[in-house]
Amino acid sequence: MRWNVPNSLTLARLAAVPLFLAFLFLPGTVCKILALALFAVAALTDAVDGYLARSLREVTTFGKLADPIADKILVAAAFVSFVEFGELRALPVIVILAREFLVTGLRVLALAEGLVIPASPLGKLKTLSHVGLALFILATRYFGVGALGLVFKEVFLYLAVALAVISGGEYFWRARKLFRPSSSG
């Protein structure tokens, strides 16, 4: 792996996950605020590391693989924790996580065939919806927003699930040639 700032930010995002979880599970207002702040900063590094990698021409194979995995680990850690806290139901989280595993597997299969499946605008929108949902839940754990907040949370959740399913389908559609029988025999 070539050491550069974008890859360092990706590794920092991975390293932030256990700390985020510690703050999330510790009692007290300060810990709730720290969990929210740490998640927000970690999520922001996703945009920053991608921008820096492209603008500085420091895109690496490690970054292409580790960056989306770091994002998935951060969001999955938050969503699974939210299920434990009763903030989210398990079924939508399972759908979201299944999509993440399937698309990651698809990307690995494509790499084995010498193909790279870049992130699509729809996939980026999906990531934004997941981060937005997590930030909303984290904020409401501290600030509280009443009954209207519960409605917004449900709307954000359905949007996040819909974008997960639709963008996952788009990735499989774009990679459909991987599933055609080969002509060699």
pLDDT tens for each residue of 154-174:
999 999 999 999 999 999 999
**CATH number for 91:** 1.20.120.1760
Structural domains in the chain (count): 1
Q: Compute the average pLDDT of residues 60-85.
A: 90
Average pLDDT, rounded, for the chain: 90
pLDDT-based confidence at residue 181 (cuts at 50, 70, 90)? confident
Q: Does 184 map to a domain?
A: no
pLDDT for 1 equals 55
- At 2 the pLDDT is 62
Q: Is residue 159 part of a domain?
A: yes
Note the pTM of the prediction, 2 decimals: 0.89
d(Cα 142, Cα 152) in Å, to the nearest integer?
Answer: 16
- pLDDT-derived band at 63 (thresholds 50, 70, 90) equals confident
